[in-house]
Amino acid sequence: MTPRHDSLLTELIEHYIATGQPISSGYLATVHQPSVSPATVRNELAQLEEQGYLEQPHTSAGRIPSEKGYRAYVKELVCRPLSTKRTQECASYIEELDRQHVKSLAQYLAESSGEMMYAAFGKHDTYYTGLANLVQKPEFAEQELLADISRLIDHLDSVVEGVLQKQSEGVSLYIGSESGFGSACSTLVMRYTLDNTACILGILGPMRMNYAFNKALLEGVYTIINT
């Protein structure tokens, strides 16, 4: 991918994350690439689509990122650290690192991220909050997708066990088909140790999530826990 392609893909993905609407070449040419001709932007978007980074939901619609596109985007993602205020707020929920405080923290993070949070304290001891945030996303307006994610939540213990087994210490990101929650979702997972037990705290949302903010949230929490 050329630097121009990389820049164009980043702009398209960040606008799509913010709006949830397919992005047209005309919009990118006018707003983000005024020094480049609309024809050039169209050609470059077509190349990105041919390479598998973009998809076109309908023939006349704009383009949206593919799973491959999101992976390329997060690979180059640079997250700003959490603000002092938000760091202090996170820390206040885990003055004592126990199950109840982690659950309170998860509720705060669900409100902050607008996504669903889940936690596992070893195997077969799971908790989740913010499910309403997830099912209200436009991506899950399709009944089949909503049914799929609901079934996964009903079997959260086994899903989270699979995530726990592949997750190393620290924060990791799994997109789409690698998430364990279905190809329409992405998850950020933080693994830490509590009472000599491997635990995880995760953010679950659609692939169209705010990766930069959500990753900064979990990395900030991980730093707090380990300092």
- Asked if 127 and 212 sit in the same domain, the reply is yes
Number of domains in the chain: 2
Report the CATH number that the domain containing residue 203 is assigned in CATH: 3.30.450.40
pLDDT > 90 fraction of the chain, expressed in percent and rounded: 56
pLDDT of residue 32: 64
- Asked if 71 and 89 sit in the same domain, the reply is no
C-alpha 129/C-alpha 136 separation (Å) is 14
Q: Write the pLDDT tens digit of every residue in 183-197.
A: 899 999 999 988 888
Q: Does residue 138 have a pLDDT over 80? A: yes
- Asked if 104 and 211 sit in the same domain, the reply is yes
pTM summary value: 0.92
Which residue segment(s) compose the domain that 55 sits in?
3-75
pLDDT of residue 15: 92
pLDDT of residue 33: 65
pLDDT of residue 4: 84
- Residues 77-86: contacts with CB under 8 Å, at least 24 apart: 77/211, 77/212, 77/215, 78/212, 79/212, 79/213, 79/215, 79/216, 79/219, 80/212, 80/216, 81/216, 81/220, 82/216, 82/217, 82/220, 86/112, 86/217, 86/220
